[in-house]
Amino acid sequence: MSSLVRQMIRPIRVGLHHKSSIIFQQIQPFPVQGLISILPLHTSAVVERARQSTRLRKRKVYMDNKKKKEERLRKNPPPIPHKVQLMLKAKGFGSKPIDWRARDEKPFPFDDTWDEQWFTWRRLSVPEALSCLREHYHPTQLDNPNGIVLARIEIDMSASRKEKYIEAFTKMVPLYNAFERGVSEKMILAFAKNEESLDAARNAGATKVGGLDLIEDISKGKVEVIDYDYFLAHDDISLELRPLLGVLREKFPKKTLGTIGTDLEKMVKTFKNGQLVEVKKPKSTLGYNDDPAFGYCEAQVGRLGMPDDQIFENFTNILESLRESAPKRSGGFITRVQFYMDGYLKSKFSVHHDLIDDAKYKAQIKNLNAVNQ
């Protein structure tokens, strides 16, 4: 048998691209019982691993060069072709690109009558801005006395490090003074160990509250989790929620989502009647300067027929919630806020607030107070 096997095996010399060569043994088919086939030597795994590392390295170099090129073009943009300039002029754009953030370089007016062509825009208090909207949307004018008041909030997206910027994000903000906005009421289930936190969550409007017994019932399938929109938890019971990870899935409470905390009452009010605010960064648009530090969002603060103090409270809660996402750096985060309503009126009314980082307005108020003293 051994002599027969030696006659069957025929060496084949295969030349490779590199200097060395490998001799593979090939077995010719022969119907011999009890003969064990000899497998060829495979080197494909080693070769693929080397190719994969090379691809990853080249991909990393390519992405780094792409980012550097984009940053270089952003700082030194090429001139706009003449035909494109003519097209922009036909659409109402000037020869120079427009900034996303309006420049505030003009001085404040000296009296009650001025032209915004030569002076900066007016900053109103929240009651003054609401009064202007009520005048325009009076039944004898635009006839929408109970419309929804919107706030357009401009944000500085600069990060703590130089030439770095935070990404767009979403934030659930509370509306303690609820109003009709076409959204169904949310079903909330809250977890906590101590009775004081459970009572606070129940009084805030939670649909169902409980502790360790409730966790056990959910894990055994005695509670229909599909009936609830949000699951909130106190910090003291967060570790005991692990058995529910596979049951709740994407609804599982997490600190990053704001569904785990110490103030259960505020969390319930936030997710029951709150609104999800999306902070956006505008994409590169023809006719506008690219500004990676510019971000904005739009939020509903109330209806025009509500009392001013309720709208002011909702507005303050929105600003406080957004400032929780501000990076740790010097300079302002919320730079400008405008009140407006959807309709025929295109005007927006800028407002001032302690949580708005309007350095120019605050310096003007400080100077006026010093003069009056």
Q: For residue range 265-280, what is the model confidence (pLDDT) as tens digits?
A: 888 988 888 898 999 9
pLDDT at position 221: 87
Tokens 């959910």 belong to 218
Rounded-to-integer distance, Cα 30 and Cα 181, Å: 82
- The 3 state secondary structure assigned to 327-359 is CCCCCCCEEEEEEECCCCCCCCEEECCCCCCCH
Listed in sequence order, the residues at least 6 apart from 316 whose beta carbon sits closer than 8 Å to its beta carbon are 353, 355
Alpha carbon separation from 279 to 66, 130, 334 (Å, rounded): 26, 24, 12
pLDDT, average across residues 334-342 = 95
Q: Do 6 and 27 form a contact (C-beta atoms < 8 A)?
A: no
pLDDT at position 20: 43
pLDDT at position 38: 53
Number of H helices, E strands in the chain: 10, 12
pLDDT at position 27: 46
- Indicate the pLDDT class of residue 72, thresholds 50, 70 and 90: confident
Q: Do 246 and 272 form a contact (C-beta atoms < 8 A)?
A: no
Torsion-angle region of 343 (φ positive above 0: left; ψ -120 to 50: alpha; else: beta)? left
- 315-333 confidence digits (pLDDT tens): 999 999 999 889 988 889 9
pLDDT at position 31: 52
- Indicate the pLDDT class of residue 135, thresholds 50, 70 and 90: very high
Choice between 53 and 167, residue whose per-residue pLDDT is larger: 167
pLDDT at position 181: 86
Angle at 186 between CA 185 and CA 189, to 5 degrees: 145
- 141-162 confidence digits (pLDDT tens): 999 999 999 999 999 999 988 8
The per-residue pLDDT of the chain, averaged, comes to 83
Rounded-to-integer distance, Cα 56 and Cα 292, Å: 28
pLDDT at position 78: 79
Choice between 21 and 215, residue whose per-residue pLDDT is larger: 215
- 292-306 confidence digits (pLDDT tens): 999 999 999 999 999
pLDDT at position 304: 94
Nearest residue to 130 via CA among 151, 102, 155: 151
